[in-house]
Homo-oligomer: A and B are copies of this chain.
Amino acid sequence: MDRAVPAPGGRANVSPDVIERLKQVLGETGWSQDPQRLAPKLVEWRDRWSGTTPFLALPGSPAQVAAVVALCAQTGTPITPQGGNTGLVGGQIPQGEILLSTERLRRVRDIDVNDDVIEVEAGATLAAVHEAALAAGRRFPLSLASEGSATIGGLISTNAGGTAVLRYGTMRALVLGLEAVLPDGAIWNGLKRLRKDNTGYDLKQLLIGAEGTLGVITAASLKLFPIPASRAVAMVGVPTPADAVALLRRARDETGGAVEAFELIGRLGVDLACRHLPGVRDPLTGRPAWTVLIEIVAGAPGEAEAALERLLTGALETGLISDAALAQNQAQAHAFWALREGQSAAQKPEGVAWKHDVSVPVSRIAAFIETADAELGERFPGVRVDAFGHVGDGNIHYDVLAPADGDQVAHAAARDGGARLVHDLVVRLGGSISAEHGLGSMKTAEAEGYKSPREVAALRAIRAALDPNRIMNPRVLF
């Protein structure tokens, strides 16, 4: 934890009197000031941001959340809500605010296979939702590496993405209804399970991705899906990112949209995974410059495998791909995915990484990688780029390591300059400087510089309309 620094933004003050009243509201089991209990909630998992709080609220029901927020609203006391503490941009780390954890709100309230809906409390983990869905013969498709810790409330508040967005969309597309405590402490029951509902502005759309600034999500109803009858996974080698995009287009054309995942990993990323992750090896013998993981699903047994084989045979014949390995069983499919999902872990032993979670239009992925590589190489000679991500969404994790045997301290110090270069390019290409992680306290100021003043004014006006005293996660967003 040596490297952790306070997350950006001013330090909040909370009156001792408010804390006493919060204890009354929450009861004996509903709060903590024990430093041991608080510690893991005050540092994010990469040890990058650290925080402080005078009080951890552990409400056991939406009514208790409402009571906490109401008291804070009346007294102008700031609150930072926190789910599984897996965020990467400091949004969940308090700097003196009350810390409100949803960890005791983890009930699966209902699951209905006719509605294809699961209704679940905000503190339930993604893994718990996956499990409950499977037990009912259904599937909740959102999928990302931190599923064992990440909570539904946090995933909604950051509009999480992951590897199945190409087919199922981000969290926004998967939420049918929300229950939330608004910034004045009122409980809003928007827990519908309707696929169509047009009766005025859709309040839940504002709460999704609001990073805890417009209230505390306490429960959600989420869409479930049938389990595909067949699924096939392959890893293939392509010479350039442009070839990967061409392959994606071909795959979507040929399979009529059955592509469920289409992930790209550069040479360095494959090599690092093989070097640092136990049991991981490169299934392709030709050491291609770029590796694509492609997953196809279909409605009948055997169809996905057949479709993927057809696609790869054709692509090999025309020279679009150089090499292909089709997973022969579940274990091999898992091994392919382990190589992809271990990318962040595989970087860690290499030292400091500048992480850029960016998106560009799919048609500009190749231009982005090519130009960013060139501009970075000129300004920061020797840096090593580990670019990987979701080609189908245009979402590239463009991570930059120090030169081999380079100076880690110097690399860390140059981080902001690198980010500026990458983000300027992304915006020139019509992209986003935060594809799926959100802004948190880390990127808010930077994002403001890229937005028009009129848009920022509109976003501020909306926030002020719902939280006039700005008590909800005050350091986060505009």
- Contact B361 A194, beta carbon cutoff 8 Å: yes
Q: Which residues of B contact A394 (CB under 8 A)?
A: 115, 194-196
**Bound Cα distance A205, B458 (Å):** 13
Cβ of A295 within 8 Å of any chain B Cβ, yes or no, is no
Q: Give the contact stretch, choosing among A14-22, A121-129, A409-417, A432-440.
A: A432-440
A sample of 8 more A-B contacts (CB under 8 A), given A159-B198, A186-B454, A190-B455, is A117-B361, A194-B431, A196-B395, A201-B206, A203-B459, A225-B257, A228-B257, A462-B465
Q: Which residues of B contact A202 (CB under 8 A)?
A: 159, 172, 205, 208-209
- Contact B199 A439, beta carbon cutoff 8 Å: yes
Contact with B along A429-454 (1 / 0, CB 8 A): 01111111111000100010011101
Within 8 A of B (CB), among A18-76: none
> Nearest Cβ in chain B — how far from A326, in angstroms?
17
> Nearest Cβ in chain B — how far from A210, in angstroms?
6
A194, A195, A433 interface centre (most CB from chain B within 10 Å)? A195
- Contact B455 A466, beta carbon cutoff 8 Å: no
**A to B CB contacts below 8 Å, 18 in the list:** A159-B198, A189-B452, A192-B430, A194-B430, A194-B431, A194-B435, A195-B359, A196-B359, A196-B394, A198-B432, A199-B434, A201-B214, A201-B463, A206-B462, A226-B257, A228-B256, A230-B256, A300-B307
Chain B residue, CB-CB nearest to A202 = B209
**Bound Cα distance A117, B359 (Å):** 15
**Bound Cα distance A318, B305 (Å):** 30
Task: Count chain A residues whose beta carbon lies closer than 8 angstroms to a beta carbon of B.
Answer: 100
**Bound Cα distance A68, B360 (Å):** 33
Partner of A300, one of B205, B303, B390, B464: B303
Those 5 A-B pairs whose CB atoms lie nearest each other, nearest first: A205-B205, A461-B465, A258-B299, A114-B363, A255-B299
Q: Give the contact stretch, choosing among A78-86, A93-101, A245-253.
A: A245-253
Q: Which residues of B contact A186 (CB under 8 A)?
A: 454
Q: Which residues of B contact A438 (CB under 8 A)?
A: 198-199
Chain B residue, CB-CB nearest to A89 = B198
Chain B residue, CB-CB nearest to A166 = B195
Cβ of A227 within 8 Å of any chain B Cβ, yes or no, is yes
Number of identical monomers bound together in the oligomeric complex: 2
Contact with B along A175-189 (1 / 0, CB 8 A): 000000010001011
Cβ of A345 within 8 Å of any chain B Cβ, yes or no, is no
Contact with B along A211-226 (1 / 0, CB 8 A): 0001000000000011
Cβ of A386 within 8 Å of any chain B Cβ, yes or no, is no
- Contact B114 A362, beta carbon cutoff 8 Å: yes
Cβ of A6 within 8 Å of any chain B Cβ, yes or no, is no
Cβ of A134 within 8 Å of any chain B Cβ, yes or no, is no
Chain B residue, CB-CB nearest to A258 = B299
**Bound Cα distance A459, B182 (Å):** 12
Contact with B along A288-308 (1 / 0, CB 8 A): 000000001111100100110
Cβ of A279 within 8 Å of any chain B Cβ, yes or no, is no
Partner of A195, one of B165, B257, B439: B165
Contact with B along A351-375 (1 / 0, CB 8 A): 0000000011111000000000000
Within 8 A of B (CB), among A368-398: 390, 392-395
Cβ of A340 within 8 Å of any chain B Cβ, yes or no, is no
- Contact A363 B112, beta carbon cutoff 8 Å: yes
Cβ of A478 within 8 Å of any chain B Cβ, yes or no, is yes
> Nearest Cβ in chain B — how far from A415, in angstroms?
19
Chain B residue, CB-CB nearest to A227 = B256
- Contact B198 A226, beta carbon cutoff 8 Å: no
**Bound Cα distance A431, B198 (Å):** 11
> Nearest Cβ in chain B — how far from A128, in angstroms?
23
> Nearest Cβ in chain B — how far from A270, in angstroms?
23
- Contact B182 A196, beta carbon cutoff 8 Å: no
> Nearest Cβ in chain B — how far from A275, in angstroms?
29
Partner of A436, one of B196, B249, B359, B431: B196
